[in-house]
Structure 1
Amino acid sequence: MDGLTAGHLIAFNAALFFAVAAPGPAFLVCLQAALRGGQREGIVTGIGLAVTAGLWTLAALFGLEAIFDAYPFVYTSMKIGGGLLVLAFAIQTWRHATRPIADTPPASPRRAFLRGFLLNLGNSKSILFSVGVLLLIFPPNLGTAAMLLVTLDHIVLEIVVYATLSTLVSRDAVRDRYLAAKPILMRAMGLVLGALGLRLLVAS
């Protein structure tokens, strides 16, 4: 299909899996959502993350790198906005660390989706994966059908990873351990997210 082979997709899925599974802002936000609100909230948050990441992939295949080269301020502005958004999530996570789970109701599906969707809008890890790895794996001048197939493949793989993560951490045994260590874990997540957000701002 327009120069796209099974080998390209296998290489893409392997690189994508390790990129998604490596702890970063998206991974931590999905993990936090599943621990707080259960399997459904984690999965819906993951869907939001996956849709935005898929759109970054589609944009990269259509020439996102050329736009960033021509207008560097666009990428810089996105990194600054993403850094501020990650910092906001970090502060919220830290503030809710000692709040009893009963006082932290699950987010609505719409809010959970938007949380994931908006986070990945400025997630430099997602953007850099799209404009870097994709351009190394796929041949130039892919047709529209091939681009859409790669985009759909990206979205589906991320949803599977986040759904698996959400299912695992929403089990009673894992949840009970989480509740026992909730203040420490959430503050650790807050520190990691805060460090990532500051890194984005400093690098900008």
Structure 2
Amino acid sequence: MRTRLATPPVPCIVHATVFDAFSWHPSESLEWLTRDGLGARDLPSSKNPPGLGFVLRGEAGAFPFLPREDAHLHLPGVPLPEGATMLAPWAIDDATDLLYETRTPPNDALALATTSLAALYWGLHDWAHFHSHGPFVEIAATELQCDASALAWLAWNAETVGLDGATFDALCRFARALGEERCADEGVSLDLDALSPRRVIGLLPTPGDVRLSAPGGAR
């Protein structure tokens, strides 16, 4: 199942020193590959989930600078072409640097395959990484920007992916709790209210699904 998700540019919500090339290639959209849609709906944890992979696009051997592995080993059940490869799971940071250094638009090189809500959340988080370059020294702030972007894109595409308001609220609470842990580890203070449902939805001009702002949904 192939779906095109809209991933419009999300404004920067952190201070200017976090990135040296914020939105160097403005995000537009992402090809999302699944077996039958969202899949398992358990909330994410801080760990990288199974069933998440960035599949290499184009002909075999395209984008040779990106480390790769056999996609079928990591994405059982997701219909992929024979011989499909994916970005090596350990190479997210490397890919962030390499895409920037070669000025390769992420959407030209990669499609996102997932089997769960947790995988989609972290995949969109990584998608935000790919579009902005920085030294990754201010980790809590860098991750705050990427969490906010992932949540904003989920809100925009809520109807497409089958996300309801209650689950979106829970994702925002998860992201905030994780942000609090990062800030404590780093000894910094950041505006984590930026991850509230209301402010996340406000990052983009039009929420993707009115359910997220309905009574009992996002606030």
TM-score (norm 1): 0.25
Higher relative contact order (CA 8 A, sep 6+): 1
Which structure's residues are more often helix, by fraction? 1
Report the structure number with the largest CA radius of gyration: 1
Which structure's residues are more often strand, by fraction? 2
TM-score (norm 2): 0.24
